[in-house]
Structure 1
Amino acid sequence: MATINPYQAYQQNSAMTASPQELTLMLYNGSLKFMKLAKRAMADKKFEEKNTNIIKAQNIVQELRVTLNLDIEMSVSLGQMYEYMYNRLLEANMKNDLTALEEVETLMIDMRNTWKQAMALAKKN
């Protein structure tokens, strides 16, 4: 009989019960986690681990991009930003470019923080 990891069960339950806004925040946080792991792997010259984590971050950026509501004007600009971030992650991976990875990390932190502020404002109203 398989043992259930309580942390995994909690994470799965959190994702299943989260609002769309909370899911977006989870995606931002997940991408940052994978970029941090990729940076560490890059420093340790663990290139397979770096590759795996950058691909995970890229997948999250793609998910953020494809879930945009293009009927909203701001979504077009966000889509372009996500595309830029995706391409910079690709470059970081192919060229082991720490600068590109850190650039995307900084952009993602800004986007995550802005999203958190928007969520807080929405709760107040």
Structure 2
Amino acid sequence: MSYGLKRYKTSQANTASREDLLILLYEGAIRFLERAIKEKDAKRLSEHKMYLRRGMAIVAELQATLDFQKGGDLAIQLFELYGYMMDRLTEANIKQDMEQIKIVIKNLGILLEGWREAVKQVQGQAAMAPPPPVGAARRLAGGAY
């Protein structure tokens, strides 16, 4: 990756909203896991392992950063799904079974599309929401401007 592209991607990640960062993580995990398969097919095993580890690290981070208080049942379900993915990736690593990686890529893709749609809906609702009445802003500000 060129120096300029690397700086751009770092800047993109540093300035992204939480929603955009989540989508970037999913995209990165998918990209790394797809690359792991390509490297294995090309018999470049050290590169294969490196990309597999990177994909696993992202899935582990997604699992570790779940907020069970805010996320409730959804967070629990995602925790279990990420655990399943980690099991599949561990098996792929031990048995050199690329089908296990493909299963994880498929699941990540489904989640990615779901999150993209959810973000669109939330952003659409925020854009359509009417502004608060002027009096409400004054009350929230303690009556002073």
- TM bin (shorter chain): over 0.9
Deviations 1:22-69 (A, max 9, x none): 110000000001011101011112111111111100000011011111
Quote the residue 2:137 is aligned against: none
Quote the residue 1:118 is aligned against: 118
Quote the residue 1:21 is aligned against: 19
SS at match of 2:80: helix
Percent identity between the aligned chains?
Answer: 27
User: Out of 11, 36, 39, which is 1:38 matched to?
Assistant: 36
What stretches of structure 2 of length at least 5 have no aligned partner? 126-145
Quote the residue 1:101 is aligned against: 101
Structure-1 separation of matches of 2:51 and 2:7: 22
SS at match of 2:67: coil
Q: With CA pairs under 8 Å and 6+ residues apart, which has the higher RCO, 1 or 2? A: 1
Report the CA distance between 1:89 and its aligned residue: 0.7
Quote the residue 1:50 is aligned against: 48
Quote the residue 2:138 is aligned against: none
Quote the residue 1:78 is aligned against: 78
Deviations 1:68-109 (A, max 9, x none): 111122101100000110111111111110110100010010
Quote the residue 1:60 is aligned against: 58
Structure-1 separation of matches of 2:37 and 2:95: 13
Report the CA distance between 1:11 and its aligned residue: 0.8
SS at match of 1:107: helix
Whether the aligned pair in 2 keeps the contact of 1:35 and 1:54 (CA below 8 Å) is yes
Q: TM-score, normalised by structure 1?
A: 0.94
Quote the residue 1:90 is aligned against: 90
Q: TM-score, normalised by structure 2?
A: 0.81
> Which amino acid letter does the alignment assign opposite residue 53 of structure 2?
I
Whether the aligned pair in 2 keeps the contact of 1:50 and 1:93 (CA below 8 Å) is no
> Which amino acid letter does the alignment assign opposite residue 78 of structure 1?
L
